[in-house]
Chains A and B, each alone.
Chain A
Amino acid sequence: MLLRVENLRASLVGSEKLILKGVNLEMGFGEVHVLMGPNGSGKSTLANVIVGNPKFKVVSGDILFEGESILNAKPHERVAKGIFMTFQSPVEVDGVRLKQLLLTSYRKIHGDDSSFYQLEREMKRLAEELGLRPEFFDRFVNVGFSGGEKKKSEILQASFLKPKLLILDEIDSGLDVDALKLVLKMVNALREQGTSLLIITHYTRILEHLDVNKVHVYLDGKIVASGDKWLAYEVEKSGYALVGER
């Protein structure tokens, strides 16, 4: 098993109010899972708790990655194990250039084996695929990026770092049709290379471009229904509440 989330309860640090209220989720190697749920139900919180955001505290339950609990691992240790999340709203990091961050990250995760030249070539290739100019790498991370550029930068970083588990938190929100196609092409390429995907989304349009193993419906801090991709279409037709009630 790649990822096992066991009865996970979590709240904001300094708050008693649970946001995650007993999440259970299992993902095998190479699988693609889709998580759908209404705004405010706690999807981003789940993603953030999996990557170790210190704003949240785990009250009970566990997260196992490749069979080992990662609850005590810091965010940078989790990414070194192969867990990567693209942010729903990526943060502006003033003064840090994208290229500098990519090189630093890559060496942290994969060591110094690749030459600067190889890494730069790979960056260029990814930028071209996403329709980004090479100067994009010289900009400060997310500073002044358009919504679309932010999402492209996130998927570019994921592709460059090649994680085992990639959590995509609403990567498809705010993207136009053309940009979405480019981004999903890259997601597919990662999947073909063996990356497992946990895709948080509101839209079924992603399913037209991607084979998925499982769809989960997420309501008020937990998974209330799981099934194949037809569950997603049902949600689209009848709404989250009705599907959740079954």
Chain B
Amino acid sequence: MGYEKTLKLEHRGMRAMLPEVKRNAGADLDVRDFFPSGNDVLDRWRLRRFREYQSYGFPVWRRVGLTSFEPPRVEGYRGLENIDEEGLALLEELDFEGSDRKFVLMADVFSMAGEYVVVSSPQEKVVVEVDQDVANSLLDLRGGDLTLVRIVRRERFVGNLRVKVREKARFKLVNLHLVGKGGTSIDNVFLDVETGASVEVYDFYSGGRVNVGFLAVRFSGEDATAKVRPYYAVSSGSATDVLYQMRFYGRRNEGTVDSKGVVTGESKVVFRGVLDILPGAKDTVAHQRNHTFLISGSAKAEAIPSLFVGENDVVASHAHSSSPLDETAVFYLMTRGCSETEARELLIKGTFEDLREELRNFELEAVLDHALEGLV
């Protein structure tokens, strides 16, 4: 069975050519790192993926300066060990490429944390702190209303999260990446959204020398909505590369990506947005917006939007921009008593105010404030 590619290469009979990703033949995990899970069905699946895993090297990502990748130490398997045939079928259905297939496969085969959960409770809120360097989770949301706060506070990280949001279910994800200063984090999130379901995502990136994020929403049914709000605070020489993808198969789905962030010092953000409206996805509404505040002269922001529209009756837009802080707003705040530094701090923190408001529900504002320290 094929997996969901990040960029579909065929549209209206046109075929696009993508340059081959350069790969690195450095040290890699091997069969000695493959620990049995105790679940034979799962392990057969893992072994198949392990073979695919071995067929690629690590990608060379020049944009974020990732030229080699040091694999994590694997000390056992944890993740989907309680999965059954039904769960495995779902896993196949939610197979995807992510920012790079290699890392999706790594988390599938070598995870040391994660779970397979079937949820259908009327209303539930869960806070999970990922406590291993490699993690893999599968969530089957069969109904009801689930809020998941997922905290990745690690030096290094490779992770997958797959979520099936079934008919009329509601899912909110608050995904916080707080990576250690010199660290590398690669997170791949794939959401499949069925008819009438609704999804809301707050996705926050901070820290790391290399911080790579991928989040896809696949609208497989009709009349569903997804609101994705990415935030990033990039400082201390970090390179953050995030990709948000929405792919519309069914009709009357509505998806928005509304993103903002702050880049300081010698740091860089690459924001990729992919909106992919397939033939037949009539009455799709798809909007994508991104603004970056560049706090220093050497901070960089690059936006790479892709919009594929294979259907006529749709509304789609994307807008990407960057600017320094608004000096008239700085002055305004100064006339209200703030020093220049305090005014800038208020404006920078203000960029994340909606996220802070959301975190307040879980008494997690301090996590954000801590991540924003030293940004000014």
Contacts and interface: CB of A to CB of B under 8 A. Distances in A.
Interface stretch (B4-12, B134-142, B312-320, B345-353): B345-353
A74 B340 contact: yes
Nearest to A101: B336
B180 to A, nearest CB: 27
Interface string B206-221: 0000000000000000
Nearest to A108: B337
A55 to B, nearest CB: 8
Interface in A29-88: 51-55, 74-76, 78-80, 84-85, 87
Given A91-B326, A92-B329, A93-B329, A75 B350 contact: no
A173 interface: no
Contacts, number: 83
Interface residues of A, number: 31
A74 B329 contact: no
Nearest to A80: B337
B338 interface: yes
A150 to B, nearest CB: 12
A76 B329 contact: no
B336 A79 contact: yes
A96 interface: yes
B328 interface: yes
A236 interface: no
Interface of A: 51-55, 74-76, 78-80, 84-85, 87, 90-97, 101, 104-105, 108-109, 140-141, 157, 161
27 contacts: A52-B334, A54-B327, A55-B327, A76-B335, A79-B336, A87-B332, A91-B329, A91-B332, A93-B329, A93-B332, A93-B333, A94-B347, A94-B351, A95-B346, A95-B347, A95-B352, A96-B333, A96-B346, A101-B333, A101-B336, A101-B346, A104-B346, A105-B336, A105-B337, A108-B338, A109-B337, A140-B350
User: Top 8 A-B pairs ranked by shortest CB distance?
Assistant: A95-B350, A108-B337, A75-B334, A95-B353, A105-B337, A91-B332, A105-B336, A76-B334
